[in-house]
Amino acid sequence: MRYEGAIFRPPSEADSLILQVTIGCSHNRCKFCGSYKEKKFRVRTIEEIKEDLTEAKRYARFVKKVFLADGDALVVPQKMLLPIFEEIKSTFPKLERIGIYGNVKSILKKSVDDLRKLKELGLGIVYLGIESGDQVTLNRMDKGTTVEKIEEASKRVKDAGITLSVTVLLGIGGEERTRIHAEETGKLLSRIEPDYVGALTLIVIPGTPLADEMRMGKFRLPDTFKLLEELYVMIENINVKKTFFASNHASNYLPLKGWLPDEKERMLSAIRYVLEVKDPSILRPEYLRAL
């Protein structure tokens, strides 16, 4: 397999074959993200992809899950994406699922019928980074989208019968918008009702535009317990029929997970306890936090 640069994948794709369909990210302007800054975006040729699949088959004939990297492989035009999916499916007859990153723009370039066709060929889950439900925060972070478009893209994925997994970022609103970010994100999640929500805590990466803003005093990250208050408010504002919520990523101070609404009060109670005792020793230490 030929990989260009660092490869990123969701934690739930740990046992998947990673197939690099695009190099980098088509948007690549989010102020907080340093993942693809060293890459110039391009779509790999079908010939390159076929060669990788042929090589992969020699060493892993019974692949059940494939994840398509890099940042948003869903941006690939449908007329090229369909043959890629067909090639994957024919290469691995025991295939159970294909996973893919998508951003709002790339999802909205696909119709529901387009997405259904991809589902028929194995697309089982789309990972969408929404980060915040607060439009001011989205603008400030150069996400290049709107809350309304996030809702529309999410609905399109769900209407196609594809599992939707979204990520949100604690702390991305900064000190001044911490509560607004938490409330509006909780409300947005209530409206889109994703299958899975992963809450990560913002870690400011050196060399990113956000790191520059932080150095100049234009952005201040909430402290540890303010971030936990943010998590509390976010969960408090989520009202869904059935969504799995997790904040157990390595970036988080307090690992939590559970089904909403069934385990909502249990998670809120755990956060309340931590906020009451304010004992840093029961939280994940800084040296263990990572992206």
Q: What pLDDT does residue 38 have?
A: 87
Q: What is the CATH number of the domain that holds 129?
A: 3.80.30.20
Q: What pLDDT does residue 14 have?
A: 92
Question: Is residue 222 in some structural domain?
Answer: yes
Question: Is residue 209 in some structural domain?
Answer: yes
Rounded (10°) angle between helices 264-277 and 224-236:
160
Question: Is residue 273 in some structural domain?
Answer: yes
Taking residues 8-15, what's their average pLDDT? 92
What does the pLDDT look like over 176-228, one tens digit per residue? 999 999 999 999 999 999 999 999 999 999 999 999 999 999 999 999 999 99
* Nearest of 82, 122, 125 to residue 102 by alpha carbon: 125
Distances from the Cα of 286 to the Cα of 99, 139, 203, 291, angstroms: 31, 29, 11, 12
Question: Is residue 152 in some structural domain?
Answer: yes
Confidence of residue 2 (pLDDT cuts 50, 70, 90): confident
Write the Ramachandran bin of 72: left for phi over 0, alpha for psi from -120 to 50, otherwise beta.
beta
Question: Is residue 230 in some structural domain?
Answer: yes
Q: Domain of residue 283: give its range.
A: 11-288
Question: Do residues 66 and 16 touch, judged by C-beta distance below 8 A?
Answer: yes
Question: Could you tell me the sign of the dihedral formed by the alpha carbons of 193, 195, 201, 207, in that order?
Answer: negative
CB within 8 A of 58, min separation 6: which ones? none
Number of domains the chain contains? 1
Residue 119 or 60, more confident: 119
Helix, strand, coil percent values for the chain (each to nearest 5): 40, 15, 40
- Over the chain, what is the mean pLDDT? 96
Q: Is residue 254 over pLDDT 90?
A: yes
Q: Is residue 61 over pLDDT 90?
A: no
Residue 154 or 58, more confident: 154
Question: Is residue 2 in some structural domain?
Answer: no
Taking residues 119-136, what's their average pLDDT? 98
Question: Is residue 22 in some structural domain?
Answer: yes
Give the global pTM.
0.95
Question: Is residue 56 in some structural domain?
Answer: yes
- Give the 3-state secondary structure of residue 17: strand
